Amino acid sequence: MTPQGEVLLAVNGLKTYFNTDDGVVKSVDGVTFHINKGETLAVVGESGSGKSVTSLSIMRLIPMPPGQIVDGEILFTGKDGVQKNIVKLSEAEMRKIRGNDISMIFQEPMTSLNPVYTVGDQIAEAVMLHQGKNKKEAMGVAADMLRFVGIPAPEKRVNEYPHQMSGGMRQRVMIAMALSCNPALLIADEPTTALDVTIQAQILDLMRKLQRDIGMSILFITHNLGVVAEMADRVVVMYGGRVVEEGDVVEIFKAPRHPYTMGLLNSIPRPGEHVHVPGQPKGRLEAIPGNVPNPLNLPRGCAFEPRCKFAVEACREAVPPLFDTGNGHMARCIRWQEFEQVQQEVTA
């Protein structure tokens, strides 16, 4: 299922720290993953997992200070075919990449659009900047892009302001803007979290269709496992600033090797399953106990250990390494082999 193709982006040992009054917050602490060309990689995590800081680091949009990329490299092969280390690029070189090679869409489409310009102006701006087109040509591209993302009457809509549009329409405009320069990589940071379910379905459908047409890679950041199952080819699960599991989407959902991933999958109600039957006792969700860890005060060993029902003494001693469990599946748990055994017994 996974296209073992060309690597588009490789993040190696990325560390992004924030200096705060109360100490150094290691938001991203040695994160390694890669995205192949044309693939959708989902990064899953809760608040404080470091998933958003990872994406902002790739865009070099970390506010410095207080933030700082202290270590690691982000290797990216742009449209020119040259591999660059994003961490080392100058701000001017980075500006050429942003919006042109890598685009980003955000959770809240209202605050990401400038309220005083028409949506056409905002799309045209990026086109003029990166493709050297004049205003008239760029407005033409803008209208084409709006049609491309399924906005009806695009010639009329280019002259509208963001506030004249609904949330779903604004997210379409954001996507149109992000795709206007044919980026090689689209970073989508919780793009549907603020939207209604029926609108979310529209946007996810649109993103799948566009990816088929353009062939770009998508880095999809979300906390919603349902969205992950629908969109992703591969999945990276983050917890406490580190990758705890990585693998093919079916592997992650069907054979998770990290207790956190297992816990997450068990704790969500699945549409259509466990529906309450009258007269019968109601089912129980299997909750993960405890709280999301304080990024200032992570445990010495495995970050998930305080909440893990499988934790043993060894988990407390050192941060476990990422174990390769085969098929490109990695898990940061010292007991992963036991889970594999149990599963084999169950299936056998």
Partner 1 sequence: MTTTVPTPVRKPRSQSQWSIVWSQFKRNPLARVGLGLLGLLYLMAILAGFLAPYGLTEYSTTDRISWAPPTPIHWRDAQGHFGPYVNGIRRDIDMETFRDKYVEDTSVTCPVKFFQTHPGMEGRTYRFLGFIPTSLKLFSVDAPCKLYLWGSDSYGRDQFSRVMYGSQISLSIGIIASVLTVILGLIMGGIAGYFRGLTDTLIMRMVEVLSAIPELFLLITLRALFPLNADPILVFYIVIGILAVIGWGGLARIVRGQILSSREQDYVQAATALGASDTRIIAKHLLPNTATYIIIFLSLAIPGFILSESGLSFIGIGIVEPYASWGSLLKVAQDGGFESLDARPWTLIPGVFIVLAVLAWQFVGDGLRDAFDPRRRR
Partner 2 sequence: MTTIATVAPGAGQRVVPATGETLLDVQNLEKFFPIRGGLLSRVVGNVKAVNDVSFSIGRGEVVGLVGESGSGKTTAGRAILRLIEPTGGQVLFNGTDITKLSKGQMRDYRREMQIIFQDPFASLNPRMTVADIIGEAMQIHNLNPGKQRIDRIAELLEKVGLRPEHMRRYPHEFSGGQRQRIGIARALAVNPSFIVADEPVSALDVSIQAQVVNLLQDLQEELGLTVLFIAHDLAVVEYICDRIIVMYLGRVMEIAPSRELNNNPKHPYTEALLSAAPVPDPTVKRQRIILEGDIPSPINPPSGCVFRTRCRYAIDDCAKIVPELREVAPGHFKACIRDDIL
What binding mask, one character per residue, do residues 31-70 give for partner 1 by CB under 8 A, x or -? ----------------xx-x-xx-xx----xxx--xx---
Judged by beta carbon, residue 108 or residue 340, the one nearer partner 1 is: 108
**Residue 215 sits in the site that holds partner 1 (CB under 8 A):** no
Q: Which of 5, 6, 13, 20 binds partner 1 (CB under 8 A)?
A: 20
CB atoms within 10 A of CB 346: 7
Question: In the window 258-297, what residues touch partner 2 (CB under 8 A)?
Answer: 260, 263-265, 267-272, 274-278, 282-289, 291-292
Residue 293 tokens, joined: 């860890």
Judged by beta carbon, residue 291 or residue 347, the one nearer partner 1 is: 291
Task: Name which of 181, 188, 232 is nearest 55 in CA terms.
Answer: 188
C-beta of 290: minimal distance to partner 2 in Å? 9
111 binds, among partner 2, partner 1, none (CB under 5 to 8 A by kind): partner 1
25 binds, among partner 1, partner 2, none (CB under 5 to 8 A by kind): partner 1
Q: Which of 40, 103, 107, 122 binds partner 1 (CB under 8 A)?
A: 107
190 binds, among partner 2, partner 1, none (CB under 5 to 8 A by kind): partner 1
Judged by beta carbon, residue 162 or residue 263, the one nearer partner 2 is: 263
Q: How far is CA 9 from CA 36, 85, 256, 307, in A?
A: 7, 10, 25, 33
Q: How far is CA 266 from CA 128, 261, 263, in A?
A: 49, 9, 5
Question: φ, ψ for residue 41 (rounded to 5)?
Answer: -110, 125
State the DSSP H helix or E strand holding residue 254, giving kind and residue range, or none if neither. helix 249-254
Residue 172 tokens, joined: 């379409």
Burial of 295 (0-12, 13-18, 19+ CB in 10 A): buried
CA dist 95 and 87 (Å) reads 13
CA dist 256 and 235 (Å) reads 11
**Residue 46 sits in the site that holds partner 2 (CB under 8 A):** yes
Question: In the window 290-309, what residues touch partner 1 (CB under 8 A)?
Answer: 294-297
Q: Which residues bind partner 2 (CB under 8 A)?
A: 46-47, 166-169, 196-202, 204-205, 223-230, 232, 249-250, 253-254, 260, 263-265, 267-272, 274-278, 282-289, 291-292, 307
